[in-house]
Structure 1
Amino acid sequence: MNMNSKSYVKVVQNGLQAVEAVGELRASGYLTEQIFVLAHNQDQTERIAETANADEIGIKEEGIFDAIANLFRSRGDELRAKIVSLGFTEMEAAFYEKELDHGKVLVIARQLP
């Protein structure tokens, strides 16, 4: 678990735990547009986000240029770029991307500016 000035992240073991973590964040006052889920597999990310009523990291968070660049990046590079777009450092992004490589799921809550 990490908190920086912009985002909070919780690493969970699976989609069920991610749904529970999203529910806890929502109960503590976060809005749907502030809660993101991220798994190594894009299909899994989409399924968890839909089930948990959370967002996926997209153009709004990344910016148009990073979103386009992600079309040409490896999945690992894309995941790190998405994590950095929410305010984490490159080093933190590398750590969390390794967690995703091991099948874990990230639940990220971002404070609105």
Structure 2
Amino acid sequence: MTLKLTVENAVQAKQEIEKLETQGYSRDNIHIFAHFKERSDDINDALDTKDVGMKEQGFLESMKNLFTSRGDELRSKMEATGLSKSEAEEAEKELDKGRLIIVAHH
């Protein structure tokens, strides 16, 4: 099961991640997305969550993302975690507003 949450900031993200852990989600399966890569990296590092990588996306999709826009990259990564194409598009709109998206999966 894939769960998507939208939060305003890293403090709220931390609270939601703690709730997800009590529900049985592992931090290895919790991903935080932000519109700006640096913000995403900083939050993932601070909260000990994982960026979506080759494991979730596969080699070819990971390589393709090196040459695409940030929006395309984010949608691709969110789809790799279990969101549908339309869910990923809606989530990207939230990212454009400065919010954070948390995706957790078992």
Q: Same fold, TM exceeding 0.5?
A: yes
Bin the TM-score by the shorter chain: over 0.9
| Structure 1 contact 7–86 (Cα < 8 Å) conserved | yes
TM-score where L is the length of structure 1: 0.88
| Structure 1 contact 19–48 (Cα < 8 Å) conserved | no
Higher RCO structure, 1 or 2 (CA under 8 Å, sep 6+): 2
Are 1:84 and 2:79 an aligned pair?
yes
| Structure 1 contact 32–54 (Cα < 8 Å) conserved | yes
Are 1:27 and 2:22 an aligned pair?
yes
Question: Residue 89 of structure 2 corresponds to which residue in structure 1?
Answer: 94
**Superposition RMSD on alpha carbons, in Å?**
1.0
Q: Distance in 2 between matches of 1:70 and 1:58?
A: 10
Question: Residue 16 of structure 1 corresponds to which residue in structure 2?
Answer: 11
| Structure 1 contact 23–52 (Cα < 8 Å) conserved | no
Structure 1: gaps (5+ residues): 1-5
Q: Which runs of 4+ in 1 moved over 2 A?
A: none
Question: Residue 98 of structure 2 corresponds to which residue in structure 1?
Answer: 103
- The total of aligned residue pairs comes to 106
Matched residues, percent identical?
Answer: 34
Q: Distance in 1 between matches of 2:98 and 2:18?
A: 21
Task: Return the match for 1:56 from 51, 57, 66.
Answer: 51
Deviation of residue 27 (structure 1)?
Answer: 2.0
Question: Residue 32 of structure 2 corresponds to which residue in structure 1?
Answer: 37
